[in-house]
Structure 1
Amino acid sequence: MTLNPIDLSLYLVLDPDLCGSPGEMVRTARLAAENGATVVQLRAPGWKKRLWLETAVALKSALAPLGVPLIINDHVDIALAVDADGVHIGQGDLPVEETRRLLGPNKILGLSVSTAAELAAVPSGVDYLGIGPVYPTGTKPDAAPATGLPLFAELVAATILPVVAIGGIKRDNCSPLLVAGAGGVAVVSAICGQNDAAWATAALREMIESACSLS
């Protein structure tokens, strides 16, 4: 059992380039949360900390009334400053043990893994795993090689932690991941930069619910 349960079913990772501006990121997050997104992560690797902070404050204000948790990618200090719901870290970020110590026991902590070796080394203190990239992705230049569906399914089966699939996920390729045991899918370009973020989210939500009924 994880420390902090979280609904991973439709996990939006915001992209500043696709959204176009911090204000549009907040607008996209709000529309997504209103139409079925269950988690929103702020990820902006090229930003200075002041812009991280300002945008995180605005996101927290927009999402909190809707009951959708805000996760901060990597930056524990920003998460603590805005009282975000949690942090997501990668293999090259602050170690899980130190991140959990700083966050305390009641915040959500997610960790990215892409191989069996990384999965085997996951320490206690993690609430969920982001496994991928499953498919090739253009939104994260430093992403690991794509796992493909067979390896993804093996990794999901090898952990008791909740899993969100990430990497190249669209409405037309998300169903097999849920059938394989994922608790949800994380998307970027499937919502960010779309002409109608509300419709894109609702369409994804419908596909996810349909796939979950088959799994």
Structure 2
Amino acid sequence: MKEFRLYAITGEQFHPGREMLEVMEEAIKGGVDIIQLRDKDGSPEEILKKAKALRELTRKYGVTFIVNDYIDIALEVDADGVHLGQDDVSLTEARRRLGNKIIGISTHAIEEALLAEEQGADYIGVGPVFPTKTKVDVVDPVTTAYVRQVAERIRIPFVAIGGIKLSNVDEVLAAGATRICAVSEIVGNSDVAGTCQAFLRKLEGAGASHAVDR
């Protein structure tokens, strides 16, 4: 998969009155590398419609497009891949159906991260780092200690996620993360593109710091 630094997930509940496509286009213009469609409440027909629109948008800008959970929809719209949780279809089954498309896996403990790597995940999500209200039934925060574990032991790309804001992202980067995912902080902001650019400046600053440390 293409290298990435900033990953955004749809969250329409955070921008009432604004169109999803408008918000996600602003995120892309701000520098987001990956867009994920996550919709836990819509009907399959509604999600398919959104997926088609986002596929068109991401293709226009050359940005990676991931669908959360729905393998059939990802295949139908020719998304670049899917993101799966621990309770979703197995990675082995997903790989059988998706071939060489991208498969990301949410992880909350080092054992899950190691298994995902062993089974051939293309990247893993590491979180929730901090408390988050983006998802219902979310697991307890894994804290930056888990980010540090993954940075030390996992070789495939990982993205830190969960409650990450501009005000606390420095802690996550200091723990070894080089890729960040944010939801409400990006899509719920009045200046979506500016927020993305601010995250990227922090990522670039951390990258320079890590280079000096080495």
TM-score scaled by length of structure 1: 0.92
Are 2:11 and 1:15 equivalent residues in the alignment?
yes
Q: Which runs of 5+ in 2 are unaligned?
A: none
Q: What residue identity is the alignment partner of 2:205?
A: S
Aligned to 1:211: 206
**RMSD, matched Cα:** 1.5
- 1:93 alignment partner, SS class: coil
Q: How much does 1:83 deviate? A: 0.4
One of 144, 150, 172 as aligned partner of 1:149: 144
Aligned to 2:185: 190
Are 2:35 and 1:33 equivalent residues in the alignment?
no
Are 2:41 and 1:61 equivalent residues in the alignment?
no
Aligned length: 209
Q: What residue identity is the alignment partner of 2:111?
A: A
Distance in 1 (alpha carbons) for counterparts of 2:2 and 2:85? 18
Identity %: 36
Which one is further off, 190-199 or 40-49? 190-199
Measured against aligned partners, the alpha-carbon deviations of 1:125-151 in whole angstroms (never above 9, x if no partner) come to 210010100111111122211011123
Kindly indicate which of the two structures has a greater share of residues assigned to helix. Answer: 2
Q: Which runs of 5+ in 1 are unaligned?
A: none
**What are the residue-to-residue correspondences of 1:131-142 with 2, within 5 Å?**
131-142=126-137
Q: Contact conserved, 1:8 with 1:185, CA < 8 A, in 2?
A: no
Distance in 2 (alpha carbons) for counterparts of 1:20 and 1:55? 16
- 1:87 alignment partner, SS class: strand
Which one is further off, 111-120 or 162-171? 111-120
Q: Contact conserved, 1:7 with 1:39, CA < 8 A, in 2?
A: no
One of 109, 115, 118 as aligned partner of 2:103: 109
One of 21, 42, 49 as aligned partner of 1:47: 42
Q: What residue identity is the alignment partner of 2:135?
A: K
Q: Contact conserved, 1:37 with 1:201, CA < 8 A, in 2?
A: yes
Are 2:195 and 1:200 equivalent residues in the alignment?
yes
Measured against aligned partners, the alpha-carbon deviations of 1:110-168 in whole angstroms (never above 9, x if no partner) come to 00100123223224221001010011111112221101112321133121111100000
Q: How much does 1:26 deviate? A: 1.2
Distance in 2 (alpha carbons) for counterparts of 1:7 and 1:175? 21
Which one is further off, 159-168 or 197-206? 197-206
Q: Contact conserved, 2:36 with 2:66, CA < 8 A, in 1?
A: yes
TM-score scaled by length of structure 2: 0.92
Q: How much does 1:171 deviate? A: 1.1
Are 2:2 and 1:6 equivalent residues in the alignment?
yes
Q: How much does 1:61 deviate? A: 1.0
Q: What residue identity is the alignment partner of 1:194?
A: N
One of 61, 69, 75 as aligned partner of 1:74: 69
